[in-house]
């Protein structure tokens, strides 16, 4: 639905007026150099934000944009919840920009309605193509991510709730604390920890947390 709007919007501005996109990343160096690169290579107007909240308020003030690019690990992103918030607020396409390019996240992002998944391992000129692709309303996913999707050792599919628990696990919270935080019973937390550990092939919560950090699952 939002996607449909995005297509129409993208097409309507194509003739004549300036296209503009928003890039959000907390690494100034990365964000600004990428923005600069796009400014030179395209005639797209680039705006930048340094956190999700920053991006949301800028979008609210100056939006909508033809495309919003969100860094996956950025203040307030809270995993892919930040993606949901941005998609809910804006009418245009929203894509995820990720440094570590974890396999699971790409799928999940797309399932949640992302317009694409842009790993930072991408070649600069491929980025230009990707951005124009997404502005045109298409979904962009690089081949290697696509490939990793099928096979790969990390075809770990966690449910939203499991991800909630896992994220808190990586903060060193106890089952009791997690239960209070999520407003569920402690037994339920244990259930999630158990299934989650099985999915990750972890020996215990600590192992699960470390694997999660390594695979960048949260």
Partner DNA sequence: CATGTCCCTATGCAACCGGATAGGGAGGGC
Partner DNA sequence: GCCCTCCCTATCCGGTTGCATAGGGACATG
Rule CB under 8 A: choose which of 5, 30, 136, 191 binds a copy of itself. 30
- Name the binder of 12 from a copy of itself, DNA, none, CB < 5-8 A by kind: none
**Does residue number 172 form part of the binding site for a copy of itself (CB under 8 A)?**
yes
Q: Two tokens at 177?
A: 């604390």
If one asks whether residue 84 binds DNA (CB under 7 A), the answer comes out as no
Q: Quick one: which H or E segment has residue 20?
A: strand 20-24
Map the footprint of a copy of itself across residues 104-123, applying CB under 8 A: 118-123
Please say whether the beta carbons of 182 and 189 come within 8 A: yes
**Cα–Cα dist 64/207, whole Å:** 42
Is 37 in a helix, a strand, or coil? helix
By CB under 7 A, tell whether 185 contacts DNA.
yes
> Per DSSP, what are the bridge partners of residue 47?
22
Q: Site for a copy of itself (CB under 8 A): which residue of 84, 91, 154, 170? A: 170
- Rounded distance between C-alpha atoms, residue 99 and residue 23, angstroms: 14
The stretch among 12-20, 56-64, 75-83, 167-175 that binds a copy of itself (CB under 8 A) is 167-175
Q: Give the x/- contact pattern for DNA in 189-208, rule: CB under 7 A.
A: -xxxxx--x------xxx--
Asked if 107 is part of the footprint of DNA (rule: CB under 7 A), the reply reads no
* Residue 94 lies near a copy of itself (rule: CB under 8 A): no
Q: Do 114 and 2 form a contact (C-beta atoms < 8 A)?
A: no
Kindly indicate which of the ranges 27-35, 69-77, 111-119, 168-176 contains the residues binding DNA, using the contact rule CB under 7 A: 168-176
Which window, 34-42, 88-96, 138-146, 153-161, contacts DNA (CB under 7 A)? Answer: 153-161
Residue 28 tokens read as: 């100034």
Nearest Cα neighbor of 42 from 131, 172, 147 is 131
Cα–Cα distance measured from residue 172 to residue 42, given in angstroms and rounded to the nearest whole number: 45
Q: Residues interacting with DNA, by CB under 7 A?
A: 157, 159-162, 174-176, 182, 184-188, 190-194, 197, 204-206
């Amino acid at each position: 639905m939002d996607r449909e709007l995005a297509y129409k919007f993208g097409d309507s501005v194509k003739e004549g007026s300036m296209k503009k996109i928003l890039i959000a990343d907390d690494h100034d160096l990365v964000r600004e150099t990428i923005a600069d690169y796009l400014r030179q290579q395209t005639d797209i107007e680039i705006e930048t934000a340094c956190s999700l909240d920053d991006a949301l308020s800028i979008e609210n003030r100056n939006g909508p944009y033809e495309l919003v690019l969100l860094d996956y690990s950025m203040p307030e992103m809270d995993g892919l919840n930040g993606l949901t918030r941005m998609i809910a607020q804006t009418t245009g396409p929203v894509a995820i920009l990720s440094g570590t390019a974890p396999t699971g996240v790409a799928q999940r992002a797309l399932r949640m309605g992302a317009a694409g998944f842009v790993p930072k391992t991408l070649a600069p000129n491929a980025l230009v193509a990707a951005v124009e692709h997404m502005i045109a309303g298409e979904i962009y996913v690089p081949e290697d991510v696509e490939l990793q999707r099928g096979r790969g050792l990390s075809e770990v599919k966690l449910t939203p709730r499991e991800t909630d628990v896992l994220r808190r696990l990586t903060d060193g919270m106890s089952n009791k604390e997690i239960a209070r935080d999520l407003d569920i019973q402690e037994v339920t937390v244990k259930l999630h920890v158990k299934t989650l550990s099985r999915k990750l092939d972890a020996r215990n919560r600590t192992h699960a947390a470390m694997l999660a950090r390594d695979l960048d699952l949260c």
